[in-house]
Structure 1
Amino acid sequence: MAHKDLPHSFKLLTIWLLVFLVLFLGFKAWERERESSRFKLAGEAIVLTRSGDGHFHWPGRVGGIEVDFLVDTGATATALPQALAERAGLTPLGAVRTQTAAGAARGFIARADIALEGGVRADKLTVTVLPDLAAPLLGMDVLGRLHFSQKPGELRIEPKQ
C-alpha cells in the first residue's frame, strides 16, 4: 500500500512546487517591473517615483559601477559608502569629519565621475566617503545644478534654463 501512496504524494508535491515556482517567478517579474517604473524620461524631464522605502532613488554609475543613489535634498554633498568607493578605485584626497543623520562620522574626500540615468553627469565631483554609510546619497552638489519639483509620490527633475 505504501508504494502506491508514494507516486500520488510525489505528484501532489510536484504540483505544489510548480504552483509555488510560478507564483515566485510572477512576483519577481512584478517586482522588477515596479522597480524599473520608478525612473521615467518625459521629454527633457526625469521623473522619479517614490519607492516602497519612502525615498526617491536614481539609478546611475560611479566610475563603471552601477549604483542606486538615494536622492537626499538635505545632504550638502554626495556621499558614498567606503566599499563602493574602493570598488570604483577612488583615491582618498584627505580626511573629513562630517555630520550625518546618525551623528558625527569620519571618512575621506575623493573625486568621482558620477553618471545618472537620463544623461545627467558630474565629472570629477568631490564626494564624501564614509565607512558606515548604507547607500550612496545624491546631494545638493549635484541636485542644485538642476531644477526639481515635487508632488505627492513624484520628483520631477529638469535641466536649469
Structure 2
Amino acid sequence: MSTDDGMQLVYYALLLVFIGGALLIEVSGRGSRALRQAALWGVIFAGAIFAANWWVEGDGPRQQVAEGGRIEIPMGRDGHFRLTARLNGADVRFLVDTGASSIALGPEDARRIGIDPDDLAYIGSAMTANGEVQTAPVTIEEFAIGDIVDRNVRAWVIGGDLDGSLLGMSYLRSFARVGFEGDLLVLER
C-alpha cells in the first residue's frame, strides 16, 4: 500500500467516525438542538467534500501497464488523463499535459522524491494558466511506470503554487506511439 493509499484510508476512516458520531447524536436526541444542527451541517459539509473528491479523482479504473511497454491510461471524469509514476521510489500522480513542454513538479511532489525546493536555483520561467512562474531544473534519478524505467530524467520544479505535477512532451516523446483508443490514452515504447 502506497502512502497515498494509507492517507486516503485514514481520511475515509475519519469521515466514517465523524458521520457516525453525528448520526448517534441526532438519533439519541442527546445534546442541545444547536449541537445537533451543527453536527448535521458538519455531515452535509463532509459529504460535499467527499462527493467533490470522488468526482474529480474518483475510484475509477487506473492505468494499466501491459507487456511490451504499453501503458493504457483511462480518461478521468473531468476529461483529463492522470498517470501515476514512481520517482526515486515515491509515487507521484501526474496530469498528462500535451501543452506542457516538459515535466513540471509541484513543490510538494519534489519534496516527496527527495528534492528540497527551497535549495534550488530558480533560473528559468514558464507561463501557466495562473501567469508566469519561476522554474528550477532538476534531474530525477529514476522514473518508473511499471516495468518501464528511465534514469536521469530532466524536469523542472515550479516555484509557485502548482497543485500536483504535469507530465509534458519531453517525456511523452520518449514513447514510439502516443495515441487515443476511445477513452484511453495509450503510450507505447
Q: Which segments of 5 or more consecutive residues in structure 1 lack a partner in the other structure?
A: 1-9, 15-23
Evaluate the alpha carbon distance shift between residue 114 and residue 72 of structure 1 in structure 2; reply closer, same or farther with a 3 A threshold.
farther
Q: 1:90-135 CA distances to partner (integer Å, 9 max, x unpaired)?
A: 2635521112232211131111134343323332222111131111
Q: What's the counterpart of residue 122 of structure 1? A: 150
Provide the rounded CA distance (Å) in 1 between the counterparts of 2:133 and 2:126.
5
Provide the rounded CA distance (Å) in 1 between the counterparts of 2:122 and 2:154.
11
Structure number with the bigger relative contact order (C-alpha 8 A, sep ≥ 6) is: 1
Alpha-carbon distance, 1:66 to partner: 1.1
Preserved contact between residue 40 and residue 48 of structure 1 (Cα < 8 Å): yes
Evaluate the alpha carbon distance shift between residue 114 and residue 57 of structure 1 in structure 2; reply closer, same or farther with a 3 A threshold.
farther
Q: What's the counterpart of residue 128 of structure 2? A: 100
- Return the letter of the residue paired with 1:145: S
Instruction: Please state which structure has a larger fraction of its residues in helix.
Output: 2
Provide the rounded CA distance (Å) in 2 between the counterparts of 1:88 and 1:110.
11
Preserved contact between residue 108 and residue 129 of structure 1 (Cα < 8 Å): yes
Provide the rounded CA distance (Å) in 1 between the counterparts of 2:91 and 2:98.
21
Provide the rounded CA distance (Å) in 1 between the counterparts of 2:78 and 2:60.
15
Which structure has the greater CA radius of gyration?
A: 1
Q: What's the counterpart of residue 59 of structure 2? A: 35
Evaluate the alpha carbon distance shift between residue 93 and residue 124 of structure 1 in structure 2; reply closer, same or farther with a 3 A threshold.
farther
Evaluate the alpha carbon distance shift between residue 87 and residue 59 of structure 1 in structure 2; reply closer, same or farther with a 3 A threshold.
closer
Preserved contact between residue 48 and residue 57 of structure 1 (Cα < 8 Å): yes
Alpha-carbon distance, 1:83 to partner: 2.2
Q: Secondary structure at the match of 2:105?
A: strand
In angstroms, what is the RMSD of aligned CA positions?
Answer: 2.8
- TM superposition score normalised by structure 2: 0.60
Q: What's the counterpart of residue 115 of structure 2? A: 90
Provide the rounded CA distance (Å) in 2 between the counterparts of 1:122 and 1:103.
31
Choose which of 109, 131, 134 in structure 1 pairs with 2:163. Answer: 134
Q: What's the counterpart of residue 18 of structure 1? A: none
